[in-house]
Amino acid sequence: MRLFLALVPPPALRGRLGALADAAHARCGGRRMPDESLHLTLAFLGEVGAAKAAELVDWVNHLTLAPGKWRLDAWGAFQGPGIVWVGGQSPDPALAALHERLWHALEGRGLTGRPARYVPHVTLLRRAERLEADDLPDMDLEWTYNQVALIHSINDGQAVRYAPLAHTRAS
């Protein structure tokens, strides 16, 4: 199963991110991510066997997470895959520390794949035809989070969908 750890936005923020995705899609084209798929990936784990997935479910269900806040106030793009995203203008030390903490624990469990560079972002579009963000709407959103989810990415030949398998506890 293909797994990742992520922050999932609360419903009101998800709606606001969806409105930004609509604006970006109207300007840039491409494939708009469905609102229910919007998230911030903290650690992409890739293909994981059933036994390791069960171990991860247990681990995540027993983790605690201190609440945090992330400010989303910038547009960005990844040229190669044509991804348009929203994130923060400034690096967020709390998110970077959470990313590092999770990867340290994952590597201790035998998982690999930590990226050389971590750019916290929410993907709004894939395969965008235009990647300029100069006339996209300004934003200043605050994302209050208190839970990390272990998510199964299901690709069964239809639209890819995400199913949460476990959630951390708030501290």
User: What's the length of the chain?
Assistant: 171
Per-residue confidence band for 147, with pLDDT thresholds at 50, 70 and 90: very high
Instruction: Say which CATH number the domain at 123 has.
Output: 3.90.1140.10
Each residue's pLDDT tens digit, 108-144: 999 999 999 999 999 999 999 999 878 899 999 999 9
Give the separation between CA 117 and CA 154, rounded to whole angstroms: 26
Domain count, the chain: 1
Q: Among 132, 153, 157, which Cα is nearest to 5's? A: 153
Sign of the torsion formed by the C-alpha atoms of 15, 70, 160 and 3: negative
Give the pLDDT score at 21: 97
- 153 Cβ contact list (under 8 Å, min separation 6): 2, 3, 4, 160, 161, 162
Per-residue confidence band for 170, with pLDDT thresholds at 50, 70 and 90: confident
Range of 41's domain?
A: 2-170
Give the separation between CA 122 and CA 40, rounded to whole angstroms: 5
Torsion of CA 46, 74, 160, 131, to 10 degrees: -100
